[in-house]
């Protein structure tokens, strides 16, 4: 099959993919030791806290990532102003949310969990610096993203290993999240400062531009909120019907499928999105060919991930996790097929962004939420973590496949139009 993507596009993809593969290898070697060191109960508490705070991330991020990348591709001369405006919008949002959390925990004190939740929420202050990543992606300078993320990864892995060797508590590993975001942001800033491509004297907030960006991103804020809800609601149901141990088991499944392999597909689609945006503006026929080719590649990758965990999942759990995580085998067999459907949904979202039809994103995730909640109520009380895995997988099928057939306009464009 002749590629419609350029050599520069694939170079950008190469660095993103290499980064995720290195994370995959290091993750398999070090992260299971963290799971085993903390045990299923403490790991369940940590992952539940991360999930609850993650429900607020659409308000932290404001759906600005892909919007800013697209606008930088379309209007490169306004890059600095776009990044500055996005940064200050997210800073204001973080300050409001963190103040609300402080007030909530002040009125509802619970020392056993308050510090954990606040540490994780505070770490998102340093995550503001990923606006610099928008610029690097738009310019296809993924080599610099690779350098900064791998350098940060090395530092964090050393500190994680220190925590494992000294059997440090769950709060130590939560604090590493803030350090991770902070170090990575410093690398991005240093790279852009050294390159001298951004006009720092123009680093000012623009209210008209801010309103324009929010107007474009609000469907993403809503849809991302729905995504977080229907991905994390299973953990809340597991906690309600069972215990932290069940969440710890489910966290190991999510780590293997989402944090490791799933992110490889996400990085490929993210790296190739600027090429899609350029073609949409210039040549719609090439654009549609790129969409179809990318879909073919990502379905193949998703099937590869599923087969990998189907045959090697039990071995990975036995070799790298403690015996407490043996219950994760069957849920892993089920959940490992999710990337096949999710990758299609990621591509679909990029198409909706380009065609200014992001309202469809909201409708499909409402469908996903409804399906997931119904299945959680039916399956989790009786089938525990296996029920949660089934619920999430089925909701992904409805959100990313069945809804695509409902949206006849997109289906015809991607599959049938020459």
Residue 341: the pLDDT is 92
Q: Give the integer Cα–Cα distance in Å for 66 and 121.
A: 23
pLDDT at 106 over 60: yes
Residue 374: the pLDDT is 92
| Structural domain contains residue 388 | yes
| Structural domain contains residue 2 | no
Q: Which of 33, 73, 91, 95 is nearest to 255 (CA)?
A: 33
pLDDT at 347 over 80: yes
pLDDT band for 43, please (50, 70, 90 cuts): low
On whether the CB atoms of residues 179 and 163 are closer than 8 A, the answer is no
- Give the containing element (helix H, strand E) for 409: helix 408-415
Other C-beta atoms within 10 Å of 416: how many?
9
Residue 418: the pLDDT is 46
Average pLDDT over residues 85-104: 90
Most confident of 276-285, 314-323, 378-387: 378-387
On whether the CB atoms of residues 68 and 200 are closer than 8 A, the answer is no
| Structural domain contains residue 1 | no
| Structural domain contains residue 153 | yes
Q: Which is more confidently placed, 130 or 44?
A: 130
Per-residue pLDDT tens digits for 207-261:
998 898 888 888 888 877 887 777 777 777 887 777 677 777 887 788 788 776 7
Residue 415: the pLDDT is 57
On whether the CB atoms of residues 307 and 340 are closer than 8 A, the answer is no
Other C-beta atoms within 10 Å of 73: how many?
21
> Which structural domain, as residue segments, surrounds residue 307?
7-415
| Structural domain contains residue 266 | yes
Helix (H, G, I), strand (E, B) or coil at 257: helix
| pLDDT more than 70, % of the chain | 88
Helix (H, G, I), strand (E, B) or coil at 399: helix
Residue 67: the pLDDT is 85
pLDDT band for 407, please (50, 70, 90 cuts): confident
On whether the CB atoms of residues 138 and 67 are closer than 8 A, the answer is no
pLDDT at 165 over 90: no
Q: Which of 35, 7, 5, 8 is nearest to 260 (CA)?
A: 35
Per-residue pLDDT tens digits for 54-66:
778 888 888 888 7
Residue 397: the pLDDT is 93
pLDDT at 28 over 60: yes
Residue 378: the pLDDT is 92
Q: Residue written as tokens 């220190």?
A: 162
Residue 394: the pLDDT is 93
Other C-beta atoms within 10 Å of 239: how many?
17
pLDDT at 1 over 50: no
pLDDT at 417 over 60: no
Q: Which is more confidently placed, 194 or 243?
A: 194
Average pLDDT over residues 135-141: 80
Give me the number of domains the chain comprises: 1
> To 5 degrees, how large is the angle CA 304–CA 379–CA 243?
95
Average pLDDT over residues 18-46: 69
Per-residue pLDDT tens digits for 288-341:
888 888 888 889 999 998 999 999 888 888 887 777 778 888 899 999 999 999
- B/e letters for 269-285, b = 16+ CB within 10 Å, e = fewer, are bbbbbbbbbbbbeeeee
Question: What is the pLDDT of the chain when averaged over all its residues?
Answer: 81
| pLDDT more than 90, % of the chain | 9
């Amino acid at each position: 099959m002749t590629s419609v993507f350029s050599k520069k596009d694939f170079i950008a993809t190469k660095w993103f993919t290499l980064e995720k593969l290195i994370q995959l290898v290091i993750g398999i070697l070090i992260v299971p030791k963290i799971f085993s060191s903390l045990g299923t109960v403490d790991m369940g508490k940590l992952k539940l806290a991360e999930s609850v705070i993650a429900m607020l991330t659409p308000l932290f991020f404001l759906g600005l990532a892909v919007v800013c990348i697209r606008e930088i591709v379309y209007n490169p001369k306004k890059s600095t102003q776009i990044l500055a405006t996005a940064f200050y919008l997210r800073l204001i949002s973080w300050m409001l949310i963190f103040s609300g959390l402080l007030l909530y925990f002040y009125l509802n004190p619970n020392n056993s969990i308050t510090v954990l939740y606040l540490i994780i929420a505070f770490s998102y202050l340093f995550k503001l610096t990923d606006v610099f990543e928008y610029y690097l992606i738009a310019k296809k300078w993924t080599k610099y993203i690779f350098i900064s993320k791998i350098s940060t990864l090395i530092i964090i892995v050393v500190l994680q290993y220190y925590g494992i060797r000294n059997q440090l508590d769950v709060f130590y590993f939560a604090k590493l999240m803030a350090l991770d975001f902070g170090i990575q942001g410093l690398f991005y800033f240093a790279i852009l400062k050294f390159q001298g491509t951004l006009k720092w004297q123009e680093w000012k907030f623009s209210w008209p531009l801010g309103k324009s960006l929010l107007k474009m991103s609000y469907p993403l804020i809503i849809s991302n909120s729905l995504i977080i809800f229907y991905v994390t609601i299973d953990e809340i149901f597991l906690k309600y019907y069972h215990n932290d141990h069940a969440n710890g088991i489910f966290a190991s499944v999510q780590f293997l499928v989402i944090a490791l392999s799933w992110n490889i597909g996400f990085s490929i689609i993210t790296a190739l999105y600027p090429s899609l945006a350029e073609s949409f503006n210039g040549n719609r026929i090439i654009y549609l060919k790129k969409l179809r080719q990318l879909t073919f590649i990502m379905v193949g990758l998703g099937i590869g991930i599923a087969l990998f965990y189907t045959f090697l999942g039990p071995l990975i759990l036995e070799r790298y996790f403690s015996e407490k995580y043996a219950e994760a085998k069957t849920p892993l067999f089920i959940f490992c097929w999710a990337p096949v459907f999710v990758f299609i949904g990621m591509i679909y979202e990029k198409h909706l962004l380009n065609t200014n039809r992001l309202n469809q994103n909201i409708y499909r995730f409402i469908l996903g939420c409804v399906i997931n909640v119904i299945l959680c109520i039916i399956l989790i009380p009786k089938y525990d973590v296996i029920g949660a895995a089934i619920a999430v997988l089925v909701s992904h099928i409805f959100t990313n496949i069945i809804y695509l057939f409902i949206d006849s306009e997109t289906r015809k464009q991607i599959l049938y139009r020459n």
